[in-house]
Amino acid sequence: MVEYDEWGPEKIVMVYDAKTGMKGFSVIDNTALGPAKGGIRLEPDVTIEEVARLARAMTWKCALADLPFGGGKSGIIADPKAVNKQEIVATFSRALKQEIPEQYIAAPDMNMGEGEMKTFANANGSLKACTGKPLDMQGLPHELGSTGFGVFHSILVALDHRNMDVNDVTVAIEGFGNVGQFTAKYLHEKGAKIVAVSDSKGGIYNPAGIDVPKLIEVKNNTRAVGNYEDAKKIRQSELFELDVDVLVPGARPDVITCKNIGDIKAKIVAEAANIPMTGEMEKVLHNEGILVIPDFVCNSGGVISSYVEHIGGDKDKAFKMIEEKITANAKMMLETAKEKCITPRDAGLIIAKDRVKKAMDARYEKMSR
């Protein structure tokens, strides 16, 4: 069941189309700062409760990034390999036409890429309907790696905060899709040692380090990191137990729970995925001296890039803004957390909630005139 509070959600739109079998929903959490911004997650098991939690994370993410966007998220219940996938996406887009783009602006998420965003925009009849579109549609596609670039910079800030040299750290990455690959690429190029990676089919581990460019090639050609030869095969769950400096959960929600949290040995956990654990689990790690970079800071590169696309900017402007905003926001959050002796998430929420509350108060004041 979706929980409502003083922040939202403002609206939940549920849609269905009998001809295509399209079944989906959009959660518009809060629009005080601007139209709700958030991606579409296409999965056979996506739930409205999961999407509502992700929409709330987007509210805080956009506020902390200081963008003129509110928070939203959508889900389409479908097989990502369905032969009529594009038709399903188009039907979903048309069903949300009343909300787009004044109340909600879509973006890619799981199993949604630039091709699906092209379909979504065309079906809606507006380039402003979504971001993450192909370059030939004035877009900045997710495939450029903006989210992973942001994760990379948030990790650099965390390492500096802990007085750790990037050239001396080991990293394990859960999930090796777009975000995981670019996070690994940038960290590897900076001098970090990527020692473990997993995907939906399994994991690999080499304490001496993994050849990241080679691994990316193997993954893209064979669709499985397990086909990389110079590493030991491990179970997906084993990745969370490794003795590494930085752990990057970068796939599904709720992968760190009370069942495995005691096995985590990393000094820093960078939440590249949305809600990979609850706030309570973050507090457990915080009390153990483990620094957690919360999702709404760590993976905000994607929505910052979306904003640049929305205002007509190019890749160079997007990546420059991602580096500047994430570096500044992560530092502000960690300094606030240290000053107030609270978790980074709580520190980030103080800043984000203050911005949203001021916008809500201003909106209500304007409406009451």
Tokens at residue 325, please?
């905003």
Under a CB-based contact definition with an 8 Å cutoff, are residues 265 and 242 in contact? yes
| Axis crossing angle, helix 178-190 with helix 146-161, rounded to the nearest 10 | 50
Return the closest-CA partner of residue 131 out of 292, 279, 302. Answer: 302
Residue 85 annotated to the active site: no
Tokens 């990790």 — which residue? 155
Spatial distance between the Cα atoms of 184 and 186, rounded to a whole number of angstroms: 6
Q: Which of 11, 19, 61, 73 is catalytic?
A: 73
Rounded to whole angstroms, how far apart are CA atoms 354 and 369? Answer: 23
Q: Judge whether 322 and 146 are in contact, CB under 8 Å.
A: yes
Distance, CA of 312 to CA of 310 (rounded, Å): 6
Among the listed residues 261, 221, 271, the one whose alpha carbon sits nearest the alpha carbon of residue 241: 261
Residues annotated as catalytic (active site), given as ranges: 73
